Structure 1
Amino acid sequence: MDHFTTIRLTAERLREDHLADLVALHLDPEVSRYLGGVRSAEKTENYLVANMAHWDQHGFGLWALRTKEGAFAGRAGIRHILVDDIDEIEIFYAFKREFWGQGFASEIAAAMTDIGLLQLALPSLIGVVNVRNGASRRVLERSDYLLERSANSRGEDVVIYRIRR
């Protein structure tokens, strides 16, 4: 599952040459507002290394997203995450601001949900969203994820959505 496409996006397995695009994405304070804050180039490089290792360990992970025209649009993935000491599998995504409000998040969330539940045959997927991030909450709700509970993750109030196979 190194590559896949949606109607308007191409997803490719994360590689070292995606670093510059990820750094620019993570340095945008609006993009990073609900992602734990702006990340330095060094933190983004560590993020890249950790997410490439996730691929090697689990056979799935983070994809770099490009438009059909080839422009970097953002990132999205399926990853293991500890939530209240339970190993869960989360979908997650972040787009450059110029792609907000155009349905790209819903498009990629639907694709990752299909990959996770149908192709990887995972029993369920979660989305962990900052309580103030109404846009991401609506994306998960439109993708048939159900609000499961509130929690605190890395010092932030979040809600957890789940979809089951």
Structure 2
Amino acid sequence: MLPERTERLRFREMTLTDLDHLADLLGDPGVMSFYPAPKSRSESREWIERMQERYTSDGHGLWIIETHDGEFIGDCGITWQSYNGIAVREVGYHVRADRQGRGYATEAASACVDLFRREFAPGLLTAIIHPRNDASRRVAEHLGMTRIADDRAHPWIVRTVMGLTVEAQAS
């Protein structure tokens, strides 16, 4: 299961051949500024392996997003997350620093909302966002999400949970 192609982007499953690109993306301090720390090459490999496990167990995960001519842009997809002990599906995204601000995250995440509508609706789709991550919050707002809660699972981290109740696609 993959989101459909968009005007500029296509999706595919991650493989270990993506390690160089993902290590650059996830190791970038700017891209990962709202994570505890950038990821090492080894952690990026584990990221790929975890997504491959999710494709098998859940049917979804984060996918590689690239332009139609194959330029690596980042990753985007749907994963199971937890907020305050509640399991929720979340749309997540990372875009290369030199490609941010061009609407790629919104375009890719919108395709994931459409996939959610086809495969999982009705239901709640979330985005769990650091409160100071204004760019990610704007992407979620463009998707129609609004703040529904704060995640206080970790006393030292508070994350804003934005959500969208997605209705089933009309037949």
Number of positions where the alignment pairs a residue of Structure 1 with one of Structure 2: 165
Gaps spanning 5+ residues in structure 2: where?
167-171
Which residue number corresponds to residue 108 of structure 1? 108
Which residue number corresponds to residue 98 of structure 2? 98
Which residue number corresponds to residue 71 of structure 1? 71
Which residue number corresponds to residue 18 of structure 1? 18
Q: Determine helix, strand or coil for the equivalent of 1:45.
A: helix
Give the AA of the match of 1:104: Y
Deviation at 1:67, TM superposition (A): 1.2
Deviation at 1:119, TM superposition (A): 3.0
TM-score (norm: length of structure 2): 0.90
Deviation at 1:102, TM superposition (A): 0.8
Deviation at 1:101, TM superposition (A): 0.8
- Whether contact under 8 Å (1:117, 1:164) holds in the other structure is no
**1:70-149 equivalent positions in 2, closer than 5 A:** 70-121=70-121, 123-149=123-149
**CA deviation digits over 1:41-66, x for unaligned, max 9?**
11111111111101100111111011
TM-score (norm: length of structure 1): 0.93
Which residue number corresponds to residue 7 of structure 1? 7
- Whether contact under 8 Å (1:25, 1:74) holds in the other structure is yes
The reply on whether 1:164 has 2:148 as its aligned counterpart is no
- Whether contact under 8 Å (1:75, 1:95) holds in the other structure is yes
Q: RMSD in angstroms over aligned alpha carbons?
A: 1.5
- Aligned sequence identity (%): 25
**1:44-59 equivalent positions in 2, closer than 5 A:** 44-59=44-59
